[in-house]
């Protein structure tokens, strides 16, 4: 096998479930954003401090930045996910463990992509809730939730990678 050979590895149940969850939550959030657009005030929260309080307000059009960034990040990560042969691997990568490393790397990227969709959805929903209702959905739990959701795929993947011989 060459160093950059492509191997066709079917998606695992975990990857399929993560895709269903990530894409569905993000799509529902986008639909909700469209349906609540007319209810938005002139100024909407666009940044929250560590305790979950809105500390900067902007126009409703600034709210569109997160879905756009989410879509671009999702497309980019989906493309990278389809080509694990271009990812970086430790020196111990060999012909005998190549499949396991590729699958592990793809899982990390898949879970990270879907967590990005979920994180963006949480932030968008929080912005909509504060803008329309004046109340926070998760408040001070936003930062811990983002950190846990953002770091979990990498920690999980790297712990699994240690098991590859």
DSSP assignments along 5-38, one per residue? -----PPPHHHHHHHHHHHHHHHHHHHHHHHHGG
**21: in domain:** yes
Rounded to an integer, the average pLDDT of 123-139 is 92
What sign does the CA torsion over 108, 113, 116, 118 have? negative
Residue holding tokens 């569905």? 24
**146: in domain:** yes
Q: Return the H-helix or E-strand segment holding 58.
A: strand 54-59
Residues 1, 8: Cα–Cα separation, whole Å: 14
Residue 132 in contact with residue 45, Cβ under 8 Å?
no
Q: How many domains does the chain have?
A: 1
Residue 122 in contact with residue 30, Cβ under 8 Å?
no
**155: in domain:** yes
% the chain with pLDDT above 90: 83
pLDDT at 151 (0 to 100): 97
**108: in domain:** yes
**19: in domain:** yes
Which three-class secondary structure state does DSSP give residue 44? strand
| C-alpha distance across the termini of the chain, in Å | 18
pLDDT at 8 (0 to 100): 92
**6: in domain:** no
Determine phi and psi for 59, rounding to 5 degrees.
-80, 165
Residues 63, 71: Cα–Cα separation, whole Å: 14
pLDDT at 2 (0 to 100): 52
pTM attached to this predicted model: 0.90
Which three-class secondary structure state does DSSP give residue 82? coil
pLDDT in tens, 2-15: 567 889 999 999 99
Give me the domain span that covers residue 70. Answer: 13-161
Statement: residue 160 has pLDDT above 60: yes
**40: in domain:** yes
Rounded to an integer, the average pLDDT of 59-81 is 94
Half-sphere exposure of 105 toward its Cβ, with a 13 Å CA cutoff? 21
**7: in domain:** no
The more confident residue out of 1 and 43 is 43
Residue holding tokens 């894409």? 23
Residues 60, 45: Cα–Cα separation, whole Å: 9
């Amino acid at each position: 096998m060459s160093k950059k050979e492509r191997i066709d590895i079917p998606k695992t149940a975990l990857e399929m479930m993560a895709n269903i969850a990530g894409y569905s939550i993000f799509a529902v959030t986008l639909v909700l954003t469209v349906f609540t657009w007319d209810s938005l005030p002139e100024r909407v929260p666009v940044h929250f401090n560590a305790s979950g309080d809105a500390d900067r307000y902007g126009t409703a059009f600034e709210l569109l930045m997160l879905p756009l960034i989410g879509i671009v990040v999702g497309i980019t990560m989906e493309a990278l996910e389809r080509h694990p042969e271009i990812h970086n691997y430790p020196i111990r990568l060999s012909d005998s463990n190549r499949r396991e490393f590729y699958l592990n790397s793809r899982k990390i990227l898949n879970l990270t992509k879907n967590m990005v969709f979920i994180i963006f959805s949480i932030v968008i929903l929080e912005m909509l809730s504060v803008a329309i209702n004046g109340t926070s959905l998760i408040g001070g739990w936003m930062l811990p939730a983002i950190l846990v959701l953002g770091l979990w795929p990498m920690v999980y993947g790297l712990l699994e990678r240690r098991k590859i011989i």
